[in-house]
């Protein structure tokens, strides 16, 4: 059974940093596709970054501020976020799928079938 639990969210001022964690169970990173998504109030869920089973990564409009990574020994997915701005305020979710995803699908919410409960990130100006 796959379980995903996010943590690490909080409130920071613009320019600050946060590291989100997604503790996983039932997932073998070398056989899964994983991603971070976010959803701001009144908006749809949008992809932030994705990492494939081979470790290759994709980023969506983060301008080099975000880094997705995995600790295989601890089964934790991370999202390091630097130079945060108020537009980054959202609920952040990690997601996983054990199916192969083409590169074009890796930041699409509909491609993932396992989700965590989310962690809130609030950035003040």
Summarised one tens digit per residue, pLDDT across range 44-98 is 999 999 999 999 999 998 789 999 999 999 999 999 999 999 999 999 999 999 9
Helices (H) and strands (E) in the chain, counts: 0, 11
Query: What is the average pLDDT score of the chain?
Result: 97
Distance of alpha carbon 95 from alpha carbon 118, whole angstroms: 10
Determine contact, residues 26/3, Cβ cutoff 8 Å. yes
> How is residue 73 written in tokens?
């020994």
Determine contact, residues 66/48, Cβ cutoff 8 Å. yes
């Amino acid at each position: 059974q796959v379980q995903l639990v996010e943590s690490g969210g909080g409130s920071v001022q613009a320019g600050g940093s946060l590291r989100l964690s997604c503790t996983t169970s039932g997932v073998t990173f070398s056989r899964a596709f994983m991603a971070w998504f976010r959803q701001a109030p009144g908006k749809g869920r949008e992809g932030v970054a994705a990492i494939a089973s081979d470790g290759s990564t994709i980023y969506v409009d983060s301008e080099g501020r975000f880094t997705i990574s995995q600790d295989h020994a601890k089964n934790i997915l991370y999202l390091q976020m630097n130079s945060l701005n108020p537009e980054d305020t959202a609920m952040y979710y990690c997601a996983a799928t054990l199916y192969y995803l083409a590169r074009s699908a890796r930041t699409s919410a509909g491609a993932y079938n396992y989700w965590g409960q989310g962690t809130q990130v609030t950035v003040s100006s």
